[in-house]
Amino acid sequence: MTRDDSRGPNGPDEARVPSARLVRAHARAQGQVLLRSPAQLVFLLLAPAVALLAIVAPIDALAGDPTQSAQAFAQMAVFGGLAVSVFGLGINAAEERASAWSTYVRTLPASGWIMTAGRLAVTLIAVAGCLLPLTLAALATTALPEALGHVSGAATSGAAGALARLASMLGAWVVAIVGCVPFLGLALIVGYSFSPSTTVAMTQLLVVPLAFAGGLVLPPGVFPPWLEALSWALPTRAVREGVLAVLGQGFVEPVWAGGGGWVPVLVWAAWAVAALVGAARAYARDEGRRFR
């Protein structure tokens, strides 16, 4: 009789480590790596809140207007998710590819998606950490609470109004965090395709056009017609409009769309699928180039 090495002494499942446990282990390790660079972490987490306090809060025309305050919050929230995803995930992935320890880890039996899933989980937690100080700053220094009070005609006072504002803010968080999926995929494509030094430049070339043309630096209302049309094809614009819709500012889409709110959703979905497929191919190509 031959021995089955896949079985532990107490049964066939003992030798198998659950995938969720492996993902948590990799996420914990990635979190520890991130904490070793506190300056980078603090910058990524506080940059949107500092920008709002420095640019929006001192201007009464922006901070005192509920619509302008909601737009500023949405733009800073999406920009924070974009920056954390691309700068944090992309650069860290490239740096780990250059390390001997990461090379060893990738030769272990655990599939590559487990290590990537742990890295994605840590990045999404960092995005949520970025939204917390931004939300507190916006609620304290702008008219965002008034914008939240008008969601779906909710009352601005009382328990019903408080619950409506809380639900709207939580919805904005969900849209901003889930909206980072295309950014995460793009970050992995860059991180698995270039050296660490080149990745730094490539991430900047990626973030600046997406932020500016997506309406995160200036509101799309000031764009020329050609840039306004181009911005609708970008994931940053799609996520921006999604956050604003949850905040009660209405769902905006191109005049040719005919209503229904489908354009931002389809644009985001197309970018998400394309970016994740590209990230998987970049990982497989890097693994084949280095280990086969």
Q: What is the pLDDT of residues 75-124, one digit of tens each?
A: 999 999 999 999 988 888 888 888 777 777 777 766 667 788 888 888 99
Whether residue 218 is predicted with pLDDT greater than 80 in this model: the reply is: yes
Give whichever of 93-97, 134-138, 194-198, 263-267 has the largest mean pLDDT: 134-138
pLDDT, tens digit, 9 for 90 and up, residues 143-153: 888 888 666 55
Q: Is 46 left (phi over 0), alpha (psi -120 to 50) or beta?
A: alpha
What is the reported pTM? 0.84
Q: How confident is the model over 173-206, as pLDDT tens digits?
A: 999 999 999 999 999 999 999 988 899 899 999 9
Q: What whole-number distance in Å separates Cα of residue 19 and Cα of residue 7?
A: 17
| Most distant pair of Cα atoms in the chain: their distance | 82
Instruction: Please give the full DSSP string across 61-73, using - where no structure is assigned.
Output: HHHT-HHHHHHHH
Tokens, residue 5: 């090495």
d(CA 14, CA 212): 52
- Give the whole-angstrom CA distance, residue 247 versus residue 241: 10
Which residues share a beta bridge with 11?
8
Contacts of 75 (CB under 8 A, 6+ apart): 215, 216, 217, 219, 240
Residues above pLDDT 90, as percent of the chain:
42
Rounded to 10 degrees, the C-alpha dihedral 116/74/255/211 comes to -60
